[in-house]
Chain A
Amino acid sequence: MIQGTIGLDNAGVVLNGAPVWQHVTGHFAAGSMTAIAGANGAGKSTLLRAILGEVPLAAGTITLDGLHPRDFGYLPQARKIDRAFPISVADMVLGGAWHRMGAFGGATRALRQRAADALDRVKLGQQAGRMIDALSAGQFQRLLFARLLMTDARVMMLDEPFTALDAPTTQDLLGLVCEWHEQGRTIIAVLHDMHQIRRCFPHVVLLSGGRAVWGETARILTPATLRQAYDGMQPRWPDTDA
């Protein structure tokens, strides 16, 4: 496999005694841009978390060819973050590069400049001094993107990053994601919106009925297959079974 490819071979996950998905085989090539789609409960977040090692596999393997945990940037679903903690926007962004700051947490001028640039890119430059609890949901999501920018990770894993954001913000951030792709990073994003997937993501993994279908977006996301996926039935193409 080429360096930086994430491969799954006959992977399966069981949560609380119930199987989520099985016999998942496929790979995310280095520098690819893949969306993960499927109905609610299909196990999309679980797939991300399995790759990150948060969820153990019940069967099969996942290979992270040459990739170190620090190579991953992960945008979780925001509600697990303590919004009430008294930390400023600037400090939150800086925290993205914490392992580069060593003991005593002193940030170099270069790092601070990068943090400021990151905030500017997501249009939060003016909010740098405010506390994070003063941000709206949309602003907070942009903050999390800025932090991801700081991590400068090779692989970006995004879990429903645009949920509950208004259209202009979504456009903006989607543009940022595309920039990342152009920079050669691998993008894996869980998304609900089919338009977004069709427009920007050349590859997709469709989770349906406990199985996964991999391939090019145009080929996979047809009205027929989507209807099946969202009815929870297994897909019936012979060449997609593991």
Chain B
Amino acid sequence: MLRHLSCLLGVWGVLSILPAHAAPPPHVVRAVASFTVLADVVAHVGGTHVSVTSLVPPDGDPHEFEPAPNDARVLRQADIVFMSGEGLESWFGRLAHAAGYRGTPVIVSNGISLYTPPGNRQEEADPHVWNNVANVIVWADNIRDALIAIDPADADSFRTSAAAYVSQLEALDRDIRARISAIPASRRRILTSHDAFGYFGRAYGVTFLAPQGLSTETEASAGDMASLITQIRANGVTTYFMENATDPRMVRQVAHATGAAPGGELYAEALSPPTGPAPDYITMMRHNTDLMLAAMRPH
């Protein structure tokens, strides 16, 4: 999908070199998304009438992103900007200010009921809404509406591709639910380094245990680590997952203390590169679910 888009981008690029007074109104909407997961959803909803660029690259961390000057240029040239919002992209304000971007980004998480974990020192909501497929359906609706608003000529096309994608998402959601409910409730515990699966856990009935807080911004304290080890020992978790953007040493340390083994790599907040196991959102969710099921089944 993305390969077609980059081809289009190339054609469009050539077109843009033509004399300025000959530029027709854009047939392809230039969209910028804050990170890869969102970019993929926008691409599927927008279809051939949208070309998306993601600011945070594959395997990158959407919490902590250091923009390069090229990102500022991309932002300025965007027709529409999509963000998940709710505190995820804390770097966006700085980038927008530096780039002189005066538009308003579309907050795709509008309408999603957020969850604030209790006992969290910073009292902030969990921004990792996309790990519950139902929330991504809300995203798809918001994206479709935003695209229609900016490019009404292609409204029908957007509606069609959005509807097709949403039905794919609904099938994915049903599938995940079915497979997880086949696991007895007492075994549904997963140990992973990044606490980005809160929405997944609540939607599909899995308990996630993690050594660090909500984002990767806070450094670990011995007390937190001790509490986690104690909890894991009490819960009898046997498999751990390394997140693709956090310190694997911390995870290994916790696993070493609890006797757990590595279960593969979960993709919590970034897609993998196109050749990796999670090149788009739906594949990412399936991949994560497969690994988690393998960990939860008794061995």
Consider the complex of A and B and state whether they touch directly, i.e. have CB atoms less than 8 Å apart. no
